[in-house]
Chains A and B, each alone.
Chain A
Amino acid sequence: MWMHALSVPLVVLTAMAVSTSAYAEVETRGNVALQLQAFPSDSQHQATQDSNVSMSTEIELYSSVGENGSFTATPFIRIDQNDRERSRIDMREFLYSHYSDDWELNVGLGKVFWGVAESTNLVDVINQTDLVENDGSSAKLGQPMVNLLLLKDWGDIDLYVLPGFRERSFPGIGGRPRPAVVIDTDNALFESGEREKHIDVAARVSTAFDEWDVGAHVFHGTSRDPLFRFNPASSSVVPFYYQHTQVGVDVQATLESWLLKTELVYRTGDEIEDHAALVSGFEYSFYDIRESGADLGIVTEWMYDERGEESNQAFQNDVLIGLRLALNDEQSLEGLLGVITDLDEGGQLITLEGSRRFGSSIKARVQMTIFQSVENDSAFSGFDDEDNLQVELSYFF
């Protein structure tokens, strides 16, 4: 179940707020997408196919509520040919918002982004990653929340009570790309006796001055990143969601063509070794190259986790080197090449992405992912035959 008892009052409250404005106009926007995936290598994993077809739709319904409020509902639906874990309905948002001059209240299921880096966002702890979307970490599950935002002259204070935890999605037995072992999401373990009903809390302060954007946060509750444990009863690997406290900062300096970015966190908990983790790097852009209008950006980021191989993060001592090309033409043609190298084990994750618009409503996106694993215990091991090509055609409305 994606919602439990504590979030029900939130939804009822939101529904009540909306019903009082039944006459309000509803604005919609969204997309319908057809996705084709190809896996050139035969998988060594059982029950997997070398191609996959999938359809998805996400529709945002927005309505203003009274003078200073709004309600947003964003259902997301995917139907997948081979992976039952991917075929599902999720409420990305079901959120009532109230705006005042110096504060804002958000109640319901919401989506929040914290962070500045491109490779990974260590400080981004509010929402759970929707891993089966095969979209880096940008796809997220809607998070039950009560959020109060205080707008001060010097910056903002964001306070969160998060009644209810969402488990990460993992590819099922027919899903690709996946590791050799299927993660058994039906038997997840929790450190807290309250399991997914544990109430998490978080706070963030942020400010911008001159070329600096700075944020600092604290989070206490269930880690969005699980550890993995072998469950002898079902002889399967299950996610183990532990309790932790995370404090961290995120900083960006915007200096003409240079963007300097750092996210630093420190985590403590009974089930983990206390540790620091860092992502830090730069992005340099060449603008309007030879008066063509095109921009080329170079991204370099170092990801580090003090726990080394004990880390439950894929990137514990890795470097991203990326190139981003934007033609800034009528079709918004863009390309992105990213190479993440594991400095400890030598494995590499190579991604190549391209997108462009056709007409005014259709967008095509191509994504190629190559796993190069040098040693068996590299973070990318088990993915050797999971190289894939993904083509997506989306109609936007």
Chain B
Amino acid sequence: MNIRSDNMRRQLAVLVAGALFATVSMAQTPEERGLEIATAVQAQDDGFVDSESAMTMTLINRSGKKSTRRMRSRVLEVQNDGDKSMSIFDEPADVKGTASLTHSHATDADEQWLYLPALKRVKRISSKNKSGPFMGSEFAFEDISSQEVDKYTYRYLGDDEFEGRAVHKIEAIPAYKHSGYTRLINWIDQERMVAVKVEYFDRKDSPLKTLEIDEYERHMDQFWRAGRMHMQNEQTGKSTILEWSDYKFQTGLTDKDFDSKALKRVR
């Protein structure tokens, strides 16, 4: 058999396989449909390169008493792996200047450093603690860390409506064994392909928290970013509001700005 006809046969095989795949995808399993939607949500954020933003966090206890935290964050997109991110704390005043650095990974353990300005000490810290509270708030570390498709397995639950918007409901089961959740239900706005609501279920599979995300704005004609997140703890009655502002994209940050040494000079 000559080479040409071998090639043709291969092309034919690919065509047949493609046709078969198309048929199969019409009868997608809920798992495949869930992964497809999660991948689409992630994919539309590809190419943001880097971003900077400021955040105000308001902790509200059961009796309505509020306290405030302020921080700034920087994110560097990493192709085919988790992003690198840095957070610089401005409030409360006793942690002013404290900064944390995370190199997140899709499958391996994240690497994490903390800078303590009073001691001028950079500490490598364990990244195992995903379920613990972030800055005393109702957000766990895993809620605000880099969201990668590979960190969950998915199942499409059906379509619904949320505040007048058509949404897909996707169940996401954390791949990480020390996650604080058995599962999450993500409500994905069909038009913008962003999460507008997330329900969290604790290790006993009881409803734990509900997150509502709104005030989305589009940056660089492509990237949707939320202006406000409201996390309600259904078990304790406490809640936390995150408000994001001053978004900047493609500011020219590089790997060197996300090195553990860079923690010391960040302001």
Contact = CB atoms under 8 A, between A and B. Distances in A.
A29 B97 contact: yes
Given A208-B124, A208-B260, A254-B126, A396 B132 contact: no
A225 interface: no
Interface residues of A, number: 47
B191 interface: no
B180 A291 contact: yes
Interface of B is mostly: loop
B44 interface: no
B61 interface: yes
A354 B180 CA distance: 28
A363 B94 contact: yes
Interface string A115-159: 010000000000000000000001000000000010100001000
A62 B261 CA distance: 19
Contacts of A208: 111, 124, 260
Contacts of A70: 265, 267
Interface in A334-372: 357, 359-361, 363
A332 B118 CA distance: 17
Contacts of B94: 31, 357, 361, 363, 394, 396
A361 B93 contact: yes
B129 A151 contact: no
Interface in B92-128: 92-94, 96-97, 109, 111, 118-122, 124-128
Contacts of B129: 285, 287-288, 295
9 contacts: A113-B120, A138-B119, A211-B111, A257-B128, A285-B128, A357-B92, A360-B67, A360-B92, A396-B93
Given A254-B125, A332-B136, 16 more contacts: A102-B256, A113-B122, A151-B256, A208-B111, A252-B124, A256-B128, A285-B129, A287-B131, A291-B203, A295-B132, A329-B136, A330-B61, A331-B136, A357-B92, A360-B68, A360-B91
Interface of A: 27, 29, 31, 62, 64, 70, 97, 99, 101-102, 104, 111-113, 116, 138, 149, 151, 156, 208, 211, 213, 252, 254, 256-259, 285, 287-288, 291, 293, 295, 328-332, 357, 359-361, 363, 394, 396-397
Interface of B: 59, 61, 67-68, 91-94, 96-97, 109, 111, 118-122, 124-129, 131-133, 136, 178, 180, 202-203, 256, 259-261, 265, 267
